[in-house]
Amino acid sequence: MQSEDLPLNAATMEEAFLRDLRVLFEASPDVLLVLLPDPPKFTMVAATDSRLRATHTTREQTIGRPLFDLFPDNPDDPAATGMSNLRDSLNRVLETREPDTMVLQVYDER
């Protein structure tokens, strides 16, 4: 069979690859989110099934939402800094294009 006989074109193959990549990502046992680099929102564009189970949420409740809408600092704890620390870290990554390491953050999740 010659390549011109194949029914798939480059765009179709890329779509299939991205679909399969999404399935693999979502099935990961790690608790992960993918964020847009759109500060200050950092919109959530993908989440693993493990993350959704851990937070008792669905994709519909998560995808397309700004990160800090779902992860605010605890309003009952005036000393809470977890989310501001995370926001600062994400901004440093965007500014420097280098990994950033934070100390353990404790925050409440709704």
For the segment 24-50, what is each residue's pLDDT rounded down to a tens digit? 999 999 999 999 999 999 999 999 999
Q: What digits encode the pLDDT tens for the residues 50-72? A: 999 988 899 999 999 999 887 77
Residue 1 has pLDDT above 50, yes or no: no
Which among 56, 85, 53, 47 is positioned nearest to 68, based on CA atoms? Answer: 85
Residue 20 has pLDDT above 60, yes or no: yes
Tokens of 94: 């965007």
- Distance between CA 61 and CA 51 in Å, rounded? 12
Q: Tell me how long the chain is.
A: 110
CB 5, CB 23: distance < 8 Å: no
Query: What does pLDDT average to over the chain?
Result: 87
Query: Which of 4-8, 73-77, 94-98 bottoms out in mean pLDDT, i.e. has the lowest?
Result: 4-8
